[in-house]
Amino acid sequence: MFRSRLGRRRGTATALLAAASLMLALGGCGVSTVTPQDAREEGGSDDKAGAAARRVDCAKVKCIALTFDAGPGKDTPRLLDILKKEQVPATFFLLGSKHVDRYPDVVRRIAAEGHEVANHTWSHEILTDLDESQVREELSRTQDAIEKITGRKPTLMRPPQGRTDGTVSDVSEELGLAQILWSITAKDYSTTDTALIRQRVLEQAHRDGIILLHDIYDGTVPAVPGIIDELKLRGFTFVTVPELLAPGKAEPGTVYRPEKD
């Protein structure tokens, strides 16, 4: 996968088209999930590690997390300009091959500007199709590449297509990675219509939600200002995924997914 720019995008789109079956996939493999609300309650009020991540109290404030997969890409600097102007933090699940290794300065900037840098595997292989050593390679290679650039290994990962199982969870735990899924998607891999991407996100927006977008597709970054403006008007506060879980802390191997209202 991702042997060329066109092949990469087709491969990502094909993989993500199956995301509609995510609920069945998780249910069928026996992997349980934890909601942001549960994570906060389990963290309590005295969890120093979780409290350190807390800029706002999402138990009291209407929070939502903006996340971007499969970058960085050519449009990511423009996206970072938007986020900086709007003072909105985001979580970036980065691909290793032809992304992290191609745009190290952008990865460095993402971290420097206070966004959460996370792992989206090296080559976007579906992890549940791999054996344990291959899963470890997909995740650890990206961990090492990001650490080399930012000085810090990610603590969060998102499995491609949202596919996970016991083996993926075990390797994630070994590598210190919590698994982060989503509850809001614009399916921006299937359209370049900026207005439609914006509409889809706004129609699904809910408290404690995690928005999935991709900064590698042409229609996505132009949709972000309108999404931010409208959600702010609705009273939402944008947070990173660790902030959404605080004072709880994302536990390695655990799968986190919000419940829709």
| Residues recognised as catalytic | 69, 214
CB 227 within 8 Å of CB 212: no
Tokens at 29, concatenated: 């493999």
